Amino acid sequence: MATAFMCFFFFVCTITISLATPAVSWKKAAAQHQRSDDDDTAAGKIFPAIFTFGDSALDVGNNNNRFTMFKANYLPYGRDFVNHKPTGRFCNGKLVSDITAESLGFQSYPPAYLSPEASGRKLLIGAGFASAAAGYDEEASISNRAITLGQQLANYKEYQSKVAMVAGDEEAAAIVADGLHILSCGTGDYLQNYYINATVRRRFTPYEYSSFLVASFSKFIKDLHGLGARKIGVTSLPPLGCFPAALTQFGYQQKKGCVRTINNEVLVFNRKLNSTAATLQKQLPSLKLVVFDIFKPLHDAIMSPSTHGFDEVRKGCCSTGAVETASVLCNPKSHQTCSNATKYMFWDSVHPSEAANQILADAMIVQGYALI
């Protein structure tokens, strides 16, 4: 996605899990699997590695050195991150994948594959391949100068060769097969392509476009499985009609509620995504594939903000919060940027704040049980 959201999911991790208390059991299992405070190897993890693909919801810095307007390696992005520095994450702080890594016992975050940090034994805990502005629609990804899903897979294949040189073929294969693979894509396909591109709308009806995107998803999963991945989680689309960017574009900033037409089209996409995932599961018996529903938890928080600790859900914290999606609009000179992002659902007009990412991660623990 040109940028996105996404944000993501997670797992109840214990063989003797009690479904009555999934979150407690999951955290307990993570603690049991972790061998020591300084251990970050495969043997100390429920999942030996985490691999992320898709768009800006999971981009941890791959776009930093690319010739593209979709990058976040400057303040105020990253101001609330662990080192208070911009890393390329499209957030004030942690992404859902960061929160997940911590919860699963990782002592450090898997590096962006195109970063200098992605070398040697640091690769043994996985890597991030996602690129802001990437999407299921390859043409849109190319026009946005993003790393397409196809190129992300090529990088993933190259990664495997590098890991084999470090750890040997057998361990490399185990890291891939047992590792957690996360895909977040589609937000940009709609908000930053379909709804603003008349040419695409003439080519596809909303229903046809969702089918086109889901077909791309299916091919990606088959190709990823063909490269050895066996545990894959993909996020649904969130309620895009409630995003500040959509509210602005469709004239809803001064109104109540969300853009119903967009949310209805998102739900159509999500139904197709779930149906296709079920088909893939039958076609590929060795594959564990979970669709993480991020629509409902986010929509619930938007509809009842105070219950979830938010004061503002209709605009982002950075600058005006109405149109910014990285690029030059959310920058160090954006004097309107809020001082406390924890009270905001969104960081900019498309991406969630760390506080929202935390809610999403907490809400999706049970959904990832099937990936264990």
What pTM did the predictor assign? 0.90
Could you tell me which residues are beta bridge partners of residue 180?
Answer: 50
Instruction: Give me the helix-helix angle, 149-167 and 169-178, nearest 10°.
Output: 140
Report how far residue 276's alpha carbon sits from residue 185's, in angstroms, rounded to the nearest whole number.
15
Query: Is residue 2 classed as helix, strand or coil in its secondary structure?
Result: coil
> Which H/E stretch holds residue 182?
strand 180-184
Q: In the numeric block, which tokens belong to residue 274?
A: 């779930």
CATH hierarchy code of domain 22-371:
3.40.50.1110
Q: Kindly write down the DSSP assignment for every residue of 262-320, as one continuous string.
A: HHHHHHHHHHHHHHHHHHHHHH-TT-EEEEE--HHHHHHHHHSTGGGT-SB-SS-SSTT
pLDDT at 324: 62
Q: Are 132 and 146 in contact (CB under 8 A)?
A: yes
> Which H/E stretch holds residue 50?
strand 50-54
Average pLDDT across each block of 10 residues of the chain; the chain has 372 residues. List them in order.
42 34 46 48 78 98 95 95 96 96 92 98 98 98 97 99 98 98 97 96 98 99 99 98 93 83 98 99 97 96 96 91 69 88 96 95 81 88
Give the number of other CB atoms < 10 A from CB of residue 22: 19
Question: Whose CA is closest to 241, among 252, 232, 227, 226?
Answer: 252
Report how far residue 28's alpha carbon sits from residue 33's, in angstroms, rounded to the nearest whole number.
9
> Burial level of 245, CB count in 10 A (0-12/13-18/19+)?
buried
Q: Is the peptide bond before 110 cis (omega within 30 degrees of 0)?
A: no
Q: Are 65 and 114 in contact (CB under 8 A)?
A: yes
pLDDT at 319: 82
Q: What angle is formed at CA 298 by the lines to CA 13 and CA 180, rounded to 5 degrees?
A: 30
Question: Whose CA is closest to 224, among 153, 158, 148?
Answer: 153
Query: Is the torsion defined by CA of 45, 48, 53, 56 positive or negative?
Result: positive
pLDDT in tens, 16-72: 333 334 444 344 555 555 433 345 665 567 899 999 999 999 999 999 999 999 999
- Beta strands (DSSP E) in 85-173 are 126-128
Q: Are 208 and 272 in contact (CB under 8 A)?
A: no
pLDDT at 320: 77
Q: In the numeric block, which tokens belong to residue 14?
A: 């214990």
Report how far residue 332's alpha carbon sits from residue 52's, in angstroms, rounded to the nearest whole number.
28
> Burial level of 348, CB count in 10 A (0-12/13-18/19+)?
buried
> Which H/E stretch holds residue 129?
none
Q: In the numeric block, which tokens belong to residue 98?
A: 């960061």
Question: Whose CA is closest to 104, among 18, 29, 51?
Answer: 29
> Which H/E stretch holds residue 233?
strand 231-235
Give the number of other CB atoms < 10 A from CB of residue 170: 9
- Go through the chain and tell me how many residues it has: 372
pLDDT at 10: 36
Report how far residue 367's alpha carbon sits from residue 58's, in angstroms, rounded to the nearest whole number.
19
Catalytic residue ranges: 56, 348, 351
Q: What angle is formed at CA 139 by the lines to CA 196 and CA 195, rounded to 5 degrees?
A: 15
Q: Give residue 116's identity as a one-letter amino acid code.
A: P
Rg (CA), the chain: 19
pLDDT at 325: 65
